[in-house]
Chains A and B, each alone.
Chain A
Amino acid sequence: MVEGIIIQGLIKGGTYALLAVGFSLIFGVARMINLSHTCFYMLAAYGIYAFAKMLGMPLIAAAVLSLLATTIIGILTYRLFIDRVREHHVTVMLITLALAMVFQEWMIISFTSEPLGAPSFISGYWEIIGVKVSYQHLLTFGVALAVLICVWALLSKTRLGVAIRATAQDSEIANLMGINVRRILLVTMGMAAVLAAVAGIVVAPTLTLEPRMWTSPLVMIMAIVVLGGLGSVKGSFIGAFIIGFVEVLVVFLMPGGAFLKGAFALLVMVIILLVRPEGLFGIAFEEERL
């Protein structure tokens, strides 16, 4: 059972980390809560279904196309809608929420409300210390780690990364230092969309596609990001694994209450925040007057 908990927890955490890091990045840099973040995850998942199953393309081509399309939609969304109301924080949240509804309805109209299944990249499973893990899950975990390492390298080793971090710390000063803040925001939004799309592409085959699939991961990643400390990429990464393990522990230790895994994860978040109001790795907000 312990092996099961460890392996399942790592896989769950990896998926959440992919989604949460993008969300956290966009919050850290632009100070905005993007409620349509998980929609890009949904769009990418539906994209791979549409390209591969409906148009009969090879899976890799479908994945690349889907990734590209989602990223473009993400950047366009930012450019056309979010950028114009960036000053009003609540309006940003609401507009991203409304956009999420638009995406959801779009998917309902194009693919109906019925659950669909996307094709696996590799079918079958591997037994690791007696626990059956499907290749697709392993792939998810591997991709999650690889992508997150890339993000970390980008943020800490490149000029662009420095610019992004500078904007996150203080966008006005960054602007004065000659950083094109608007461009940085756009790039960040693109990166967040890519991360969400990658998650959608690798996770899609392990679950069902339905037009409301964006809501439950949205709640979970918001919990993760808050728990890790808003804007802290490291925090989101660790938070993702905490929440992943809590969910798996609930399933294994109280089988009759498996449905409570979401509620327990949220409870853990509330408790952590009561102890550390700024999250595990967040910067104390006390002095910052938003």
Chain B
Amino acid sequence: MLRKVIPVLVVCSLLVLLIVPGCGGEEGNVIKIGVIGPMQYVQGEHHWYGATMAAEEINDAGGIDVDGEMYTIELIKADSNEMTSPTDAAAAMEKLITVDGAQFVVGGFRTESVFPMIEVAMDEETIFLGCGAATESLCQLAVDDYDRYKYWFRVTPFNSTKLVSNSLMTLGMAGAIMQQGLGLEGPMTVAILAEQAEWADGMVAAYQAYVPAMLGMEVVGTWRPSATATDLNAELTAIEDSGAHLILTILSGPVGIPYARQLGELEIPCASVGINVEAQKDGFWDATEGHGNYETTLNTYAEGVALTSKTVAFIEEFQDRYDQTPTYNAGTYDAIYLLKEVIESTGTMDTDTLITALEEIDYVGAGARIVFMGTDTTTPHDVTYGPGYSTGLATQWQDGEMKAVWPNLGVGEWEGVTYEGVVMWQIPDRVIAYYTQD
């Protein structure tokens, strides 16, 4: 009997599921903003946290003033499942806009998924403020077909080519500190450790050319593990054999944790700088069992470092609410304030007017001063990078705390550029021990 009933029950519950989502829905003076991201990951979680914080602050202050009438913000959360399936991400985006009625969308992370998500948003002529994918080509779409792709803006991060210059400057700084502190002779040597990914390819080529040319260091080799590798023992043994002083990393995947852990545990005598996305997260220290000490990575926020006048308050509030340091994906906070800014200044919800206003905006957010690049540049609607605009940070793990160490000791255009709360970069103990024992 039971064997017959259960399938029937399953079918019935499916039918109920089919019908339920069709119900509900109310209208009022609301602006619906969709937040889309991989909600099962920190990236998506922070998309949502940043947006929620902004929306609640705005709503508590009375809402958004559209030509004299007050509107409240209603956020709609959409799990794009984009890490596994771009198909799913596109469908989530379409549902968000057409079924749930989102008028603006913020978020997005994995480039292969953000492409189809942009396509959907452009089809629906909906403004999409990106807060996650760094690929330069996302902003090049508008060069060829401005009318179609004008709805896409990137609020954060600045595009991946700029990561090269930040990494090189951090490397130069670390190299100089090491050379001085340890009294090393001759050129510093660098091993490049980059995960195998398209976005890293261009950076690797740039490093191979610029590390010797601009910094006078020598590249001893390039290793390309998979972004999801779980064991880098072999790579690290090979790097130690090569005698490198510094490791320049490009790691966005989970590989960043075993890398840092084994680097510390095996006491490989190399200092590590570059990009290690895992090291941007609070859980990094625990995940590496403390072996991740001295790991240095480019970053966006650090506790107590005032990128703009709003940063410190933003980070404190974020930590109060969610007990975590925000990652760059929490830039949805700035994205929502940007929307408020343009809607209030134009007094309309007309998409084309808002796009013109966004193109002209000069807004000081929590993460940076946001100015979008012009339509005459190669990457229209990308966030502007440089001293005085969005610069980013580099942070180093120092005995369990994430400390900002760059911008500091810059030269040329970057001379004197630094923020309150930035400390000196430290040479790892294992490196000091190795070079002072001989």
Contact = CB atoms under 8 A, between A and B. Distances in A.
> Does a CB–CB distance below 8 Å link A and B in the complex?
yes
Interface of A: 1, 4, 8, 11-12, 53, 108, 112-117, 119-120, 123-125, 131-134, 137, 205-208, 210, 213, 216, 247-248, 251-252, 255-259, 261-262
Contacts of A125: 265-267
A116 B225 contact: no
A210 B257 CA distance: 11
Nearest to A206: B231
Interface in B104-161: none
Given A116-B286, A256-B222, A4 B238 contact: yes
Contact of A259 (B221, B226, B234): B226
Contact of A252 (B234, B254, B262): B234
Contacts of A247: 234
A229 B432 CA distance: 51
B224 A132 contact: no
Contacts of A11: 233
B235 interface: yes
Given A117-B286, A123-B289, 11 more contacts: A108-B40, A113-B41, A115-B278, A120-B289, A123-B265, A132-B237, A206-B262, A208-B254, A256-B223, A258-B229, A259-B196
Interface string B264-294: 0111100000000010010100111100000
A125 B262 CA distance: 10
Nearest to B266: A132
Nearest to B223: A255
B325 to A, nearest CB: 14
A251 B40 contact: no
B240 interface: yes
Interface of B: 40-42, 195-196, 221-231, 233-235, 237-238, 240-241, 254, 257-258, 261-262, 265-268, 278, 281, 283, 286-289
Contact of A258 (B224, B241, B254, B262): B224
Contact of A208 (B230, B235, B267): B230
Nearest to B288: A117
A213 B278 CA distance: 16
30 contacts: A4-B234, A4-B237, A4-B241, A8-B237, A11-B233, A53-B286, A113-B41, A115-B283, A116-B283, A116-B286, A117-B287, A117-B288, A117-B289, A124-B265, A125-B265, A131-B237, A132-B268, A134-B266, A205-B289, A206-B231, A216-B230, A251-B225, A252-B234, A255-B221, A255-B238, A258-B223, A258-B224, A259-B195, A259-B226, A261-B226
A114 B240 contact: no
A206 B221 CA distance: 25
B42 A251 contact: no
Nearest to A215: B228
Nearest to A209: B287
Contact of A134 (B40, B227, B262): B262
Nearest to B40: A113
Contacts of B268: 132
A1 B231 contact: no
A131 B229 CA distance: 21
Nearest to A247: B234
A114 B44 CA distance: 12
Nearest to A105: B40
Nearest to A257: B224
B234 A114 contact: no
